[in-house]
Amino acid sequence: MKKKDKTQKKKFELSPKAKKIISIVFFILTPAILLGLMILVLNYTTDIWYYLKPKPIIFTLLLLETIHILLTSLTGSSKRSVIIQSILLWILLFVNKLRYTYTYEPLTFSDFVYIGNFGEIGSIVKDNIFSTIWKIVPIFSCLAVVLTFLIFIINKLNIKANKKFRICGGAVTLIIIVILFAPIKSVKTFMLEKIYDKDKAKDYRHNSQNMQYYSEYSMLGGMYADLLESRIFEPDNYNKDELSKILKKYDKKETEKSWEKANIIVTFSESFFDVDLIKDDVKFSKPVTSNYNRLKDEGIFVNMISPSYGGISANVEFEFLTGYSLDFFGKGYTPFMALYKNNKYKDRSSIVKELRNNGYYTKVVFGKDFFNSEHVYERLGINEYEEKNIKKYKKGYYTSDEYLIDCAIDTLKNKSDDEKLFYMNCTIESHMPFEEKKYKEYDFEVEESTLNKAQTSVIKSYAQSCYDADQELGKLYDFIQTYEEPTILLFFGDHLPYLSDPDTSDDLLNELKYFNTGDSLVDTYRRYNTGALILANFDLGENENMDYMSPDMLLTTVVNKMGLNLSSYYKWLYDTKNNLPCSNYFVSSDLEGNLSWTNNLNKEQKEYFDLRNKMQYYVLIDGLAK
């Protein structure tokens, strides 16, 4: 037998006690490693830099630790727990990258309601998805290596959970998760006020759906805050009897009758904005929005504050067609995709139903519907819904404004004489993406630009979309002037566009002087300000207190001025216009255009804001007003 070499070094081994201590420390540190990886990858894929705030980060770490313990308890192994978390981490980061690339907004828990509409969403991203994936291959490959090494170490340490740990740890963490994620009002209030300092946030950069918000609270922290703000609870000091008494006072009140009962034709113009306003940075060879500016003197021009920026047109539709406000929902909430999925909201009031009760035939036409809204419109009371996504009528990537306006004109020509028409045209030509190759020919040139060539091409593409919308506005207005029946034309952009820098994916509005005055209140207002035109083939009279309105007040005002027989809620809502005519989550305006942060309203405005919140809950959520 060969003798053992005494000079051979002994193999180093940790003592069982040391190994146990290291295993415990590593187990505790694993969530911090995962959070660090998420922060690094998110920073790389979205070109942001984190200014992490301590309280939300500590909370996020504790949340990850809780999830880690729960998964370890359920699976019996830390390795299995990390594998599950790693897979979820990959999915979240990848989907967030797609979400950010195409909407300039981060992923939220409320996005899971779009799973049923994956085909529609896929149609938006399919053309550029491979280039997007290719850009993130390096960082995701590094992530895979680090996660593999992490799982290897855990496997070597053989970190497993005994029966006692699995029972106790699983029970405690499950209770914590349920408390944090269950719809509990006190939890929402505590977390937003004590952890997220909600009351201190004013400008749009602190929107819980904004990447700047995630840069302070981390991705998971931002997603959780958005989830909290999306939950609907009974307002403070909510009294059904008091609200009922207020509405009863309006039961017999008559509406104004200052306008004729008229057909209402709406051009809900995708991403339309008066692009000629950015002349300090980009000068075109001729006016882009000539009809839009000319017609301001022919009718009534309204400065609108949209509830959306860069996307989610459905939220603007919701306000316009119902008279309800997004101000009283969480920032991540989309009623079309959440609230109206519940069939009980079929009997709730809407302006569409008010019109039908007054003899109107109601129809909505989409160039392309990304929100699968047909069932929503049925619940809102629309008689007819139609999507005209027809290849031969496309201009750029989507159905042209010209074709959709021609359809509106044909509908007016062929309508019956014995009923009025409400016709809403939702255009799509001006939907992102914006790039010079989108159009084969342009009706103007860019003469001067302070932007680089790639950035200027994006602006030029967007401007052509606005030019086409403007031309069709002029054509529709001219036709209405020859039409015999009294007809009102409403034209407005739903929200400003997100104009993505081709090189960095940054928002080009950050580069334009018009949106960067140095006054954060004015800059916020301008990002949400879209003008609305109220035009008609009869005299609309003087513009009284209509210079500033939100979408929720726009159609509400029109139906009140036509002397229609309306329910008490819409007559009451119209009366609040003089006190709170124009607002969204962030910025508000009075009748004279004086701006303020919505969370810093004066005493009278705050009283009406709170009252509207209670009344909307009473009418829409409780459904008690008939």
Query: Quick one: residue 233, left, alpha or beta (phi over 0 = left, psi -120 to 50 = alpha)?
Result: beta
The Cα–Cα gap between 77 and 72 comes to 5
The tens digit of pLDDT for each residue in 289-326 reads 999 999 999 999 999 999 988 877 889 999 999 999 99
Which residue, among 393, 406, 536, 394, has the nearest Cα to 475 in the 3D structure? 406
- The pair of structure tokens assigned to 138 is 């390096």
Which residues lie closer than 8 Å to 46 by C-beta, 6 or more apart? 96, 97, 100, 106, 211, 505
Give me the residues of the chain with pLDDT under 50, please. 1, 116-121, 123-124, 203-206
3-state DSSP of 586-626? CEEECCCCCEEEHHHCCHHHHHHHHHHHHHHHHHHHCCCCC
- The pair of structure tokens assigned to 518 is 């140095």
The Cα–Cα gap between 616 and 323 comes to 9
Residue 131: helix, strand or coil by DSSP? helix
Residue pair 314/337 in contact by the 8 Å Cβ criterion: yes
Residue pair 243/86 in contact by the 8 Å Cβ criterion: no
Residue 264: φ, ψ to 5°? -120, 115
Which residues lie closer than 8 Å to 123 by C-beta, 6 or more apart? none
Exposure string of 518-556, with b = 16+ CB inside 10 Å and e = fewer, is eeebebbbbbbbbbbbbbbbeebeeeeebbbbbbbbbbb
The Cα–Cα gap between 80 and 78 comes to 5
Residue pair 44/178 in contact by the 8 Å Cβ criterion: no
Go through the domains of the chain in sequence order and give each one's CATH number.
16-229 (no CATH), 266-309+320-548+574-602 (3.40.720.10)
pTM, to two decimals: 0.79
pLDDT in the model for residue 330: 74
pLDDT in the model for residue 109: 77
Residue pair 389/400 in contact by the 8 Å Cβ criterion: no
pLDDT in the model for residue 118: 47
